[in-house]
C-alpha cells in the first residue's frame, strides 16, 4: 500500500511532532479539517506519542450526544457478577486505572471531530480537563483526584468558530491549519491503488523509521532557554491584536520543542520565528508601523545551566529580567545552533490567522457553557434533546433506567428492613429521576425585513413588541434579510436562524444597512419554506409562528432572476407579482399569525395593503415613516 | 500523606504578580469570618493555579473542590455505595463537611448547577448543613472559606451567591514585559517537572528556594492569624469604614464589618498592632466593588480611577 511521504520539513508534521515532544502542547485545534483527514492525523499523532512516551496510547472519541454519565461515569449492571451486580462504570474521560509499569496512567488521545457541535456536557468537561493540572470527579458516590494525562485533537470549521466559547478555545495551545491537500501523493498514485485494489479511505499512515528516531532523540534532548528566546516570544505577543497569557506560553513551548527536534542545546530567537511560522503568526517587524522598533526591556542576568538545564535560580519576586542581548553578544559566550531547515520548510501556515475566534462573528448564546435556563411554566417538558438527568418530583418524563440505578444501592437494606425475601425492586420517591432536556422552543418569530424600504422610518420601535414577545416566550427566531447591504448575493435574500433572540447575530442583523436590489419574491419563498419546515417537519415542530413583515412591497427582482442570480430582462412588475403569489401560499398556512409593519411609502401606498390582504395579515403603520424608498 | 501529594503544584511563592489575588486569599485565611473570595478574571491569568498553590501551602493538600458536574450526594454526603449494596449503611462525608474549617474551592463557579448553588447558599447563610435524604436526618455546624474562580465572559453570578463572598478580586493579564518574561521562564521550568511527573521535584534547586520561601510565608500568615485579635482598630478607622460603605453605596451592612475585619487582618499580616488608614485603603476595593448598587458583573471594570480618587478622599491616603 502506498504511503505518503512524511518528514519534519512538512509544516503540519513538524507541528504535530512538537506536540508529541512537549506535553504542554497536547491540546491541538486543527481548522477546516475533513473528518477522514482528522482520523489520519490522529493515527499519525498516536504513533508520534507512542514514540516519545514509550507507552501505548488509547484513543477516545467525543461526539455530539454524550451526557455527564457517559463522560464521567455512573452505576451500571455487571452481568458477570453474582455478588455485586451494580458497579461503578468509569466514563470515557474519567481517570483511568494506573496500569503502567511505573504506576502512572496511560496517555489518552481524545479526538473531537467537530468542536462546534460538541454536546454541552462534553464542552463543560473539556473546560475542566483540557490543559488542566488537576482533575476532580465527584459523582454518584464516587470520588477521585488525578493529574490528567491526555492529548486533545479537535477540529473546527473557521466559519463556525464563533459558535465555540472562547473560554474553551483558549485552552487549545496549538493551532494548526489543515494543509488542504492529501500530502504528496498524486491522483495517478491514487488511481494505481484503486486498480490494484489496495485503496482504503482510511489511510493509515505509518511513521517512517527516520522520523521515529528523530522524535525519540528530541524527547531526550536537554535544551536550555536563552534570554534572546524569551525576548523574541514577548515581541511576538506584544504586537498581537489581542493578548492572552496562554498564547505566549504556547509559542514559547512550540519554539522550545522546535529546538529539541533540531537537537539544539539552546533555543534562540530564530526558533521562535520558526515556531511562529508553523502556526501562522506574523513577525513583529511586519506588524509594527515603519520606523517603529520593538522595545526590548534591559536586564543583567543570563541563563545558566541547572539540573533542569532550563533557567536561572532567582526567586520569583526579584527583578530577574535577563538581558535581551543582540544575538552577536550572546553568540560570543554561548554557541547557538542555527539550523538551515527553514529554507526547505514548507511554510504553509504563513499569514493564516491561528486565532480566528478573535474576529469571528459571535454565533453562540451568551454564557453558552452554562446549563440552560428553564422557564417556570413549561407546559410540555418532554420535548427537547436529553442533556442529563435530575431528581423528579412527578411521574412525568421519568428516566426509567436512571431511576432503577438510583434505587439499586438501597435494595439490600430495604429488603432487610421490610423483611422481603424475593427480588422485587423496592422504589422510594427519592429514587425518581427525570430527564433534563435542552429547551426546545414551542414558538417561532419569523421576521422578513426589506431594508430598502426602511429609510427614515421608525421601524425598530414598531418591531420591539414582537422582539419582547420572542424573548418572554423563549421563541426561536429567524430573520429573512431582503435588500441588505452585505448579502450573500445581491439578487437573493438571506436567512438567519437562531434558537433565541439573545444570540448576538440577531442584533447584528437588525442593525444591517440598506442595499440596492429588493429580491422580495425570493424573501417570501425563503419565509414560506422556513415556516413549512418549522410547523410540519422534524421531532420538535413549533406549535405557533408569528410572521412579521417589514416591507413596502416594491420588489424589483423576479423569482427567476433570483434563482438564476442574473437579471435577463428589464425590471418590471414581475418581482411584485412573484412575491404576491408566494405571499398567498403563506396566507394559507395554519398556526401562523402574520403582521405587516407598513412603512407608509409615498409612492404606491396601496401596495403594502395589498400584500397584507394576501397574507391575511394585521397591518400596523410605522410611525414617522417617510414616503421615498432608497435604491429603487 | 494525602491522596494528592503526588500531584506537583507550582509553589505559591513562584507565582509571578497577582498581588491583589494573593492578598485576598491571605486575608480570608487570617480572618475566616470574612467568608470567602471570588476571583473573577480573564482566561489564563493563574486564578486556579494560585488558589491551589495557596491551599497546598497552608493546608498541605489541595483544596476540597466541588467540580461543576458534582452530584448532590457528593456535595451533601450520602452512603458508601459498595457497602450499601451489601446491606451495610456506612456514611460517606460530603464535600461541604470535608471542607469544614478549611477552604472549599469551586472552579468555574458561574457554571455550577443551580441546584448545587442553592445548597451552598443555604449552608453559607445558616452555617448549618442539613442532610435529609436517603433515610438520613442530620444537622451539622459547618464553616468553610468559600473560594470561587470564574471567567465573567461565561456569565455572571446570582446576586445571592455573589453576596456570600466577602472579597472579590478582579484579575487581569499581566502586561509588564519584565513580569511576562518571568512568567514564561517559571512556567517552562515547572512544565518540565509536571510533564515528567517527577516525584522528587521538591529536591530540584530551582524549586528549593521557592519552597523555603513558602515555609516562611506560611509561618508569617499563621502568626498573623494568631495575632489578629490583638490588633487594635481605632474609632477613626471604624468611622472611615462606615463612611466608605455609605459613599460607595454598598448594599446591606455586611460591608461595614468586612472592611474592619479585612483591614485588621491586613495589619496583622504586616505585623503591626494598630490598623491604619493605609490598610483600609488597600482592602477597600476587595470588599466594596461587588457590593455597590447598580453594578453588574458584566461591567468588567468594577473599580476604576474615579473610585480610587473617592477612596483617597475618604481615607486621606494613597492606596498601595
Catalytic residues of B: 254
Q: What is the pLDDT of residue B182?
A: 92
Closest residue, chain A, to B89 (C-alpha): A413
* Residues of chain B positioned with their CB less than 8 A from the CB of A128: 67-69, 107-108
* Rounded Cα gap, residues A90 and A106, in angstroms: 15
Region B86-93 average pLDDT: 84
* Residues of chain A positioned with their CB less than 8 A from the CB of B9: 133-134
Q: What is the pLDDT of residue A4?
A: 63
How many other CB atoms are found less than 10 A from the CB of residue A45?
22
* Rounded Cα gap, residues A166 and A169, in angstroms: 5
Region A317-321 average pLDDT: 30
Supply A167's cell numbers.
473560554
Residue B62: band (very low, low, confident or very high) from pLDDT cuts 50, 70, 90: very high
Q: Is residue B115's pLDDT more than 90? A: no
Helix, strand, coil % (nearest 5) of chain B? 55, 15, 35
Closest residue, chain B, to A135 (C-alpha): B67
* B254-269 helix and B235-247 helix, angle to the nearest 10 degrees: 130
Q: What is the pLDDT of residue A190?
A: 66
Record: contact B178-A312, CB cut-off 8 A: no
Q: Give the Å distances, CA to CA, from B55 to A135, B50, B62, B86, B105.
A: 16, 9, 6, 37, 9
Q: What is the pTM of this model?
A: 0.78
Percent share of chain A, pLDDT over 70: 80
Q: Is residue A347's pLDDT more than 50? A: no
Record: contact B206-A166, CB cut-off 8 A: no
Per DSSP, the three-state class of A479 is strand
B295 vs A65, more confident: A65
Q: What is the pLDDT of residue A102?
A: 58
Q: Which residues contact B63 (CB under 8 A, 6 or more apart)?
A: B51, B52, B55, B99, B102, B103, B104, B105, B147
Region B162-168 average pLDDT: 91
* Rounded Cα gap, residues A188 and A94, in angstroms: 46
Q: Pick from B73, B268, B182, B252: which is nearest to A231 by CA?
A: B182
Region A587-606 average pLDDT: 91
Q: What is the pLDDT of residue A98?
A: 65
Record: contact A133-B49, CB cut-off 8 A: yes
B293 touches chain A (CB under 8 A): no
* Residues of chain B positioned with their CB less than 8 A from the CB of A49: none
* Residues of chain B positioned with their CB less than 8 A from the CB of A125: 69
Residue A320: in which H helix or E strand, if any? Answer: none
* Rounded Cα gap, residues B127 and B145, in angstroms: 12
Poorest-confidence range of A38-52, A421-435, B137-151, B202-216?
B202-216
Q: What is the pLDDT of residue A318?
A: 32
A584 vs A207, more confident: A584
Q: What is the pLDDT of residue A329?
A: 31
Residue B318: band (very low, low, confident or very high) from pLDDT cuts 50, 70, 90: very low
Supply B252's cell numbers.
446591606
Q: What is the pLDDT of residue A82?
A: 62
Q: Is residue A399's pLDDT more than 60? A: yes
Q: What is the pLDDT of residue A378?
A: 46
* Residues of chain B positioned with their CB less than 8 A from the CB of A247: 44
CA A149, distance to chain mean position in Å, is 23
The pair phi, psi for residue A59, each rounded to 5°, is: -95, 140
The pair phi, psi for residue A537, each rounded to 5°, is: -115, 150
Average model confidence (pLDDT) across chain B: 88
Q: Is A446 within 8 Å of A463 (Cβ atoms)?
A: no
* Rounded Cα gap, residues B211 and B12, in angstroms: 8
How many other CB atoms are found less than 10 A from the CB of residue B72?
17
Closest residue, chain B, to A138 (C-alpha): B70
A342 vs A366, more confident: A366
Region B244-263 average pLDDT: 91
B296 vs A233, more confident: A233
Minimal CA separation from A73 to chain B, in Å? 11
Supply A202's cell numbers.
482510511
Q: What is the pLDDT of residue A191?
A: 74
Q: What is the pLDDT of residue B317?
A: 53
Region A619-628 average pLDDT: 70
Q: Is residue A316's pLDDT more than 60? A: no
Q: What is the pLDDT of residue A37?
A: 85
Minimal CA separation from B129 to chain A, in Å? 18
Record: contact A409-B62, CB cut-off 8 A: no
Q: Is residue A340's pLDDT more than 50? A: no
Q: What is the pLDDT of residue B47?
A: 96
Record: contact B185-A22, CB cut-off 8 A: no
Interface of B with A in 3-32 (CB under 8 A): 3-4, 6-9, 13-16
Region B34-55 average pLDDT: 94
Q: Which of A319, A371, A413 shows the shortest C-beta gap to B113?
A: A371
Instruction: Identify each DSSP E strand in A126-173 by its residue range.
Output: 135-139, 142-146, 150-156
Region A398-412 average pLDDT: 88
Give the number of C-alpha atoms closer than 13 A to the C-alpha of residue B245, restricted to the C-beta side: 16
Q: Is B90 within 8 Å of B35 (Cβ atoms)?
A: no
Per DSSP, the three-state class of A540 is coil
Q: Pick from A108, A355, A163: which is nearest to A250 by CA?
A: A355
Record: contact A249-B183, CB cut-off 8 A: yes
Closest residue, chain B, to A253 (C-alpha): B188
Residue B147: band (very low, low, confident or very high) from pLDDT cuts 50, 70, 90: very high
Q: Is B57 within 8 Å of B12 (Cβ atoms)?
A: yes
Region A368-393 average pLDDT: 68
Q: Is residue B167's pLDDT more than 90? A: yes
* Rounded Cα gap, residues B303 and B288, in angstroms: 9
Q: What is the pLDDT of residue A350?
A: 44
Residue B81: band (very low, low, confident or very high) from pLDDT cuts 50, 70, 90: confident
Region A440-468 average pLDDT: 89
B49 touches chain A (CB under 8 A): yes
Of A25-29, A185-189, B137-141, B150-154, where does the model show the most confidence?
A25-29
A418 vs A383, more confident: A418
Q: Which residues contact B180 (CB under 8 A, 6 or more apart)?
A: A234, A237, A245, A248, B174
Q: Is residue A473's pLDDT more than 60? A: yes
Which of B177, B201, B203, B208 should we substitute to test contact with A (largest number of A Cβ atoms within 10 Å)? B177
Q: Is residue A240's pLDDT more than 60? A: yes
Q: Is residue A339's pLDDT more than 50? A: no
Q: Is residue A296's pLDDT more than 50? A: no
**pLDDT tens-digit readout, A571-591:** 778 899 999 999 999 999 988
Q: Is A160 within 8 Å of A363 (Cβ atoms)?
A: yes
Of A59-68, A162-171, A453-462, where does the model show the most confidence?
A162-171
Percent share of chain B, pLDDT over 70: 92
Q: Is residue B195's pLDDT more than 90? A: no
Record: contact B177-A297, CB cut-off 8 A: yes
Average model confidence (pLDDT) across chain A: 81
Q: Is residue A171's pLDDT more than 50? A: yes
* Rounded Cα gap, residues A529 and A532, in angstroms: 5
Q: Is A227 within 8 Å of A299 (Cβ atoms)?
A: yes
Residue A453: band (very low, low, confident or very high) from pLDDT cuts 50, 70, 90: very high
Amino acid at each position: 500500500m502506498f504511503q505518503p511521504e512524511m518528514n519534519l520539513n512538512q509544516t503540519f508534521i513538524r507541528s504535530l511532532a512538537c506536540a508529541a515532544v512537549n506535553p504542554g502542547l497536547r491540546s491541538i485545534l486543527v481548522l477546516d479539517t475533513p473528518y477522514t483527514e482528522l482520523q489520519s492525523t490522529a493515527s499519525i499523532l498516536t504513533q508520534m506519542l507512542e514514540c516519545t512516551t514509550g507507552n501505548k496510547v488509547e484513543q477516545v472519541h467525543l461526539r455530539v450526544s454524550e451526557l455527564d454519565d457517559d463522560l464521567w461515569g455512573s452505576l451500571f449492571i455487571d452481568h458477570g457478577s453474582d455478588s455485586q451486580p451494580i458497579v461503578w462504570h468509569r466514563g470515557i474521560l474519567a481517570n483511568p486505572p494506573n496500569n503502567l509499569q511505573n504506576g502512572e496512567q496511560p496517555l489518552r488521545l481524545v479526538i473531537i471531530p467537530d468542536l462546534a457541535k460538541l454536546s454541552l456536557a462534553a464542552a463543560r468537561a473539556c473546560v475542566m480537563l483540557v490543559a488542566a493540572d488537576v482533575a476532580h470527579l465527584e459523582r454518584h458516590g464516587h470520588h477521585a483526584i488525578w493529574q490528567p494525562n491526555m492529548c486533545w485533537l479537535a477540529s473546527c470549521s473557521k466559519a463556525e468558530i464563533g459558535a465555540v466559547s472562547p473560554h474553551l478555545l483558549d485552552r487549545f495551545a496549538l493551532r494548526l491549519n489543515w494543509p488542504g491537500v492529501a500530502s504528496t501523493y498524486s491522483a495517478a498514485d491514487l488511481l494505481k491503488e484503486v486498480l490494484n485494489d489496495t485503496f482504503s479511505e482510511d489511510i493509515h499512515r505509518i511513521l517512517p523509521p527516520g522520523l521515529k528516531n528523530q522524535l525519540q532523540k528530541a524527547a531526550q534532548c536537554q535544551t536550555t532557554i536563552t534570554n534572546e528566546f524569551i525576548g523574541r516570544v514577548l515581541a511576538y505577543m506584544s504586537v498581537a491584536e489581542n493578548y492572552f497569557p496562554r498564547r505566549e506560553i504556547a509559542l514559547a513551548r512550540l519554539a522550545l520543542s522546535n529546538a529539541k527536534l533540531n537537537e539544539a542545546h539552546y533555543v534562540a530567537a530564530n526558533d521562535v520565528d520558526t515556531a511562529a511560522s508553523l502556526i501562522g503568526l506574523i513577525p513583529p517587524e511586519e506588524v509594527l508601523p515603519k520606523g517603529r522598533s520593538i522595545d526590548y526591556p534591559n536586564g543583567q542576568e543570563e541563563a545558566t545551566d541547572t539540573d533542569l538545564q532550563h533557567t536561572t535560580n532567582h526567586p520569583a519576586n526579584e527583578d530577574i529580567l535577563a538581558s535581551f542581548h543582540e544575538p552577536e553578544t550572546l553568540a560570543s559566550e554561548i554557541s547557538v545552533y542555527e539550523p538551515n531547515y527553514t529554507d526547505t520548510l514548507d511554510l504553509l501556515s504563513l499569514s493564516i490567522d491561528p486565532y480566528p475566534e478573535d474576529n469571528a462573528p459571535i454565533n453562540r448564546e451568551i454564557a453558552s457553557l452554562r446549563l440552560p435556563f428553564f422557564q417556570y411554566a413549561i407546559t410540555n417538558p418532554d420535548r427537547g434533546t436529553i442533556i442529563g438527568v435530575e431528581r423528579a418530583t412527578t411521574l412525568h418524563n421519568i428516566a426509567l433506567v436512571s431511576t432503577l440505578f438510583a434505587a439499586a444501592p438501597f435494595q439490600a437494606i430495604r429488603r432487610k428492613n421490610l423483611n422481603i425475601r424475593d427480588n422485587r425492586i423496592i422504589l422510594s420517591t427519592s429514587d425518581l429521576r427525570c430527564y433534563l432536556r435542552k429547551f426546545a422552543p414551542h414558538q417561532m418569530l419569523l421576521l422578513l425585513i426589506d431594508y430598502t424600504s426602511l429609510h427614515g422610518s421608525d421601524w425598530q420601535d414598531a418591531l420591539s413588541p414582537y422582539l419582547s414577545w420572542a424573548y418572554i416566550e423563549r421563541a426561536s427566531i429567524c430573520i429573512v434579510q431582503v435588500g441588505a447591504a452585505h448579502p450573500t448575493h445581491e439578487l437573493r435574500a438571506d436567512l438567519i436562524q437562531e434558537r433565541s433572540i439573545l444570540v448576538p447575530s440577531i442584533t447584528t442583523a437588525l442593525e444591517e444597512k440598506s442595499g440596492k436590489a429588493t429580491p422580495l419574491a425570493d424573501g417570501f419563498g425563503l419565509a414560506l419554506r422556513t415556516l413549512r419546515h418549522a410547523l410540519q417537519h422534524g421531532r420538535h415542530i413549533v406549535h405557533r409562528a408569528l410572521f412579521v413583515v417589514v416591507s413596502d412591497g416594491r420588489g424589483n427582482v423576479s423569482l427567476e432572476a433570483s434563482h438564476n442570480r442574473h437579471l435577463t430582462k428589464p425590471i418590471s412588475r414581475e418581482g411584485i407579482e412573484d412575491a404576491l403569489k408566494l405571499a398567498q401560499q403563506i396566507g394559507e398556512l395554519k398556526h401562523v399569525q402574520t403582521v405587516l409593519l407598513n412603512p407608509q411609502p409615498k409612492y404606491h401606498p396601496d401596495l403594502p395593503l395589498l400584500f397584507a390582504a394576501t397574507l391575511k395579515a394585521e397591518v400596523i403603520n410605522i410611525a414617522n415613516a417617510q414616503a421615498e424608498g432608497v435604491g429603487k | 500523606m494525602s491522596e494528592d501529594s503526588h500531584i506537583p503544584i507550582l509553589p505559591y511563592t513562584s507565582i509571578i504578580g497577582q498581588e491583589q489575588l494573593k492578598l485576598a486569599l491571605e486575608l480570608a485565611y487570617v480572618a475566616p469570618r470574612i467568608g470567602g473570595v471570588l476571583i473573577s478574571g480573564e482566561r489564563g491569568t493563574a486564578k486556579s493555579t494560585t488558589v491551589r498553590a495557596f491551599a497546598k501551602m497552608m493546608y498541605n493538600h489541595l483544596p476540597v473542590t466541588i467540580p461543576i458536574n458534582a452530584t448532590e450526594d457528593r456535595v451533601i454526603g450520602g452512603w458508601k455505595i459498595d457497602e450499601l449494596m451489601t446491606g451495610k449503611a456506612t456514611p460517606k462525608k460530603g464535600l461541604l463537611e470535608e471542607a469544614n474549617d478549611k477552604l472549599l474551592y469551586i472552579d468555574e463557579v458561574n457554571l455550577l448547577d443551580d441546584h448545587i448553588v442553592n445548597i451552598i447558599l443555604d449552608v453559607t447563610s445558616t452555617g448549618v448543613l442539613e442532610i435529609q435524604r436517603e433515610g438520613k436526618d442530620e444537622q451539622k455546624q459547618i464553616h468553610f472559606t468559600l473560594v470561587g474562580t470564574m471567567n465573567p465572559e461565561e456569565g455572571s453570578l446570582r446576586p445571592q451567591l455573589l453576596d456570600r463572598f466577602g472579597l472579590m478580586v478582579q484579575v487581569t493579564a499581566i502586561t509588564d514585559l519584565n513580569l511576562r518574561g518571568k512568567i514564561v521562564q517559571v512556567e517552562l521550568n515547572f512544565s518540565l517537572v509536571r510533564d515528567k511527573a517527577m516525584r522528587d521535584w521538591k529536591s530540584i534547586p530551582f524549586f528549593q528556594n521557592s519552597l523555603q520561601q513558602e515555609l516562611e510565608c506560611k509561618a508569617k500568615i499563621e502568626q498573623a492569624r494568631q495575632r489578629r485579635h490583638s490588633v487594635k482598630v481605632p474609632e477613626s478607622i471604624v468611622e472611615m469604614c462606615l463612611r466608605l460603605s455609605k459613599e460607595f453605596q454598598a448594599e446591606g451592612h455586611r460591608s461595614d464589618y468586612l472592611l474592619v475585619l479585612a483591614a485588621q487582618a491586613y495589619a496583622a499580616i504586616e505585623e503591626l498592632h494598630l490598623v491604619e488608614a493605609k490598610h483600609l485603603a488597600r482592602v477597600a476595593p476587595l470588599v466594596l466593588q461587588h457590593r455597590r448598587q447598580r453594578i453588574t458583573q458584566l461591567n468588567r471594570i468594577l473599580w476604576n480611577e474615579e473610585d480610587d480618587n473617592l477612596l483617597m478622599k475618604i481615607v486621606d491616603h494613597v492606596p498601595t
